[in-house]
């Protein structure tokens, strides 16, 4: 892994610990990029067993996810599964692809770049505690924040934008649930969020709407 940008400063060592197997850091426009290992798209448990074991958990170990597991999780959530068309693992109305998955970890807040299958640094600080109102969110290793960019939804009405955003976040969060059930990870999707505070911490525009958050980690 190439040395992280000086602007990341003291968080560089933490980033290496959290993403130990991530390689080939590159500098995208606006921040540091952490490349993810290629997703492992074969294997896993049978679907019917995974559906049987799917559940919400609110008790998490502080142990970070290995880089390969993080890679697989993000690809399952909202990765590109048809490279010829750029379409994703979850459906998107009119193929707007208006959803963004933000990844809050101890070393910073990242945006999942599905086309590059990488994490682009957004904030080099820990915002996990702001992603929800429950105590466990600040100590869990990973919080995903599902944000709908209404600017990508054309001339749809506000009611339709809200509806399609909620549906898309549901599809993505269920993908995460199924992956976690297959891998023995704990997860819970959450709507109890101080959205103005979190939007400020993330630096979102007014037309970027926080829909849901989801905590993931090893069970405690």
Written as six digits, the tokens of 157 are 């009405």
pLDDT score of 26 more than 80: no
Query: Is the domain covering 6-217 a CATH 3.40.109.10 domain?
Result: yes
Instruction: Output the pLDDT for position 200.
Output: 98
Q: Provide the β-strand partners of residue 32.
A: none
d(CA 125, CA 132): 16
- Pairing relationship of beta strands 33-35 and 80-82 according to DSSP bridges: unpaired
The model's confidence at residue 204, banded by pLDDT at 50, 70 and 90, is very high
Domain edges within the chain: 6-217
Residue 122 has pLDDT above 70, yes or no: yes
How many Cβ atoms from other residues are within 10 Å of residue 50's Cβ?
17
d(Cα 196, Cα 190) in Å, to the nearest integer? 16
pTM here is: 0.86
Per-residue pLDDT tens for 162-185? 999 999 999 999 999 999 999 999
pLDDT band (50, 70, 90) for residue 27 = very low
At residue 103, φ and ψ (nearest 5 deg) are -120, 110
């Amino acid at each position: 892994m190439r040395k992280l940008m000086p602007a990341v400063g003291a968080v560089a060592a933490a980033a290496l610990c959290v993403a130990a197997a991530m390689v080939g850091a590159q500098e995208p426009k606006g921040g540091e990029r952490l490349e993810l290992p290629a997703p492992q798209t074969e294997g896993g448990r049978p679907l019917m067993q995974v559906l049987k074991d799917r559940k919400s958990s609110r008790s998490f170990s502080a142990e970070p996810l290995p880089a390969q597991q993080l890679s697989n999780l993000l690809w399952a959530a909202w990765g590109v599964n048809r490279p010829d068309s750029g379409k994703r693992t979850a459906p998107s109305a009119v193929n707007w692809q208006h959803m963004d998955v933000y990844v809050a970890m101890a070393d910073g807040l990242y945006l999942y770049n599905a086309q590059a299958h990488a994490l682009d640094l957004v904030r080099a600080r820990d915002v996990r505690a702001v992603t929800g109102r429950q105590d466990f969110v600040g100590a869990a290793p990973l919080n995903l924040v599902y944000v709908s960019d209404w600017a990508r939804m054309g001339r749809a009405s506000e009611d339709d934008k809200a509806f399609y955003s909620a549906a898309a976040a549901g599809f993505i969060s269920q993908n995460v649930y199924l992956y976690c059930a297959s891998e023995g990870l704990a997860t819970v999707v959450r709507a109890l969020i101080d959205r103005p505070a979190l939007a400020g911490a993330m630096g979102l525009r007014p037309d970027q709407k926080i829909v849901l958050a989801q905590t993931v980690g090893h069970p405690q």
